[in-house]
Amino acid sequence: MKFDYDLFVIGAGPGGLAAAERAATKGAHVAIAERDRVGGTCVIHGCIPEKLMTYAASFSHIFKDADEYGWGKVSDKFDWYQFMEARDRDINHLSQLHIQHLQQAGVELLTGYTKFLDAHTLDVDGRRIVADKILIAVGGEAVKPKIPGIEHAITTREFLELKQQPEHLAIIGSDHIAVKLAGIMNGLISKVTQVVCEDRILPGYDEDIRTTVTEGLKKQGINILCNTGVQQIQRVQDGVKLILSDINPGTLTVDTIICITGRAPNVNGLNLENASVELKLGAIAVDEHSRTTQSNIFAVGDCTNRPHWTPVAIASGRAFADTEFGNNPHFVNYDYIPSVVSSLPEAATVGLTEAQAREKLGESVRCYCKKFQPLFNSMADPDRKTLIKLVVDSTSDRVLGAHMVGEYAAEVIQMIALAIHAGVTKKHFDTTVGIHPTVAEEFFTLR
């Protein structure tokens, strides 16, 4: 069979872009198809625009603290339209940069919907394409729960396209994205109510992280309704109304409702059955080398059952390209992947939570935890505390997990992730001299 391409990639998000560019540098003839803007959810509809909004929201806290540092009162007015225009320009610039990188690597970019005709043949908006190897990197999409009136709620993608800032926002959800948006909108001077069906936000995170972030959000004025369900949503004259149940029954009327209750692999319409590509629990089933149940078809990123983080998709895409086109077979180690909750306050974590460690190792687990006041807050906000925590196996002295809530949490934990990968022990922390005065040095003083 004569092939049009050595590799055809479906989806120009982080994983697909990384794989296409790496394979092209190895001499492969590569094309990539995207039905949206190049960059994927992370660049266009997720991490990057949300992070830019986090930066914007942080100014309200900086302005509040500026008075204590001698700068006087600063205006707390926020121009939503001006910011969104600037943000969109930046996002478009990043998307264009990715297109340039594809061109420089010699990757052909196609625009349109792609579906399988068979294991080697694709239809891209009516164009028939035959490829030796095919990589699926279509990401995921937000899903809404089946609640009467749920059509009146929006997803994060629609939220990031709002032309007008909500005065009062309800967020249905408890994960890191829901918590992040609650902190962002509170920082941008919107009233925020978060509706959580669980007993607390951030299920699956370390209990000290959950407690500390909750305290921080409530202190800022965010109303968190835990153990609360949504029975129905109704459109009313002055906005949208939520009918609540369980611990906090009653109604809540707001301008906008964002539903953040989960994501699903974006595989509808690919016609995977034509290529004998199987799903497992709704995601594309892959082996350690990203190969699907069809030997020439691979998948990376959020359409698989791997951790749904941008760096994971990038690493998986590059490992696939190195293995298949670079004569360098290897796979990604998914242990000790750090993650961040870009809330205000920020939280970050890597490795095992205390509960996970105790379930695995029992009484040999020892935890070292401290809440303290960073130097900056000694003048600005004495009640704002930073939390740091290490989870240790006392038998081997190995550090199993690290957790932090406070400024620069993501930057600090990211470096600790490297140390944990290398087998760092508590003794290593105890005998390391830190930089003073910093927040990170406190990890070396835990006793």
Residues carrying an active site annotation: 436
Contact 420, 405 (CB under 8 A): no
Q: What angle do CA 7, 302, 355 make, to 5 degrees?
A: 140
First-to-final CA distance of the chain: 66
Beta-ladder partners of 263: 142
108 vs 368: CA distance, rounded Å: 52
215 vs 155: CA distance, rounded Å: 26
Q: Nearest CA to 303 among 275, 284, 280?
A: 284
386 vs 229: CA distance, rounded Å: 31
Q: Tokens 């909004």 map to which residue?
A: 53
Structural tokens at position 332: 């990604």
178 vs 260: CA distance, rounded Å: 6
What are the φ and ψ backbone dihedral angles of 175, each rounded to 5 degrees? Answer: -80, -175
299 vs 139: CA distance, rounded Å: 10
Contact 278, 292 (CB under 8 A): yes
Residue type, 260: I
> How is 161-174 classified by DSSP, letter by letter?
T-SS--SEEEEE--
What are the φ and ψ backbone dihedral angles of 319, each rounded to 5 degrees? Answer: -65, -40
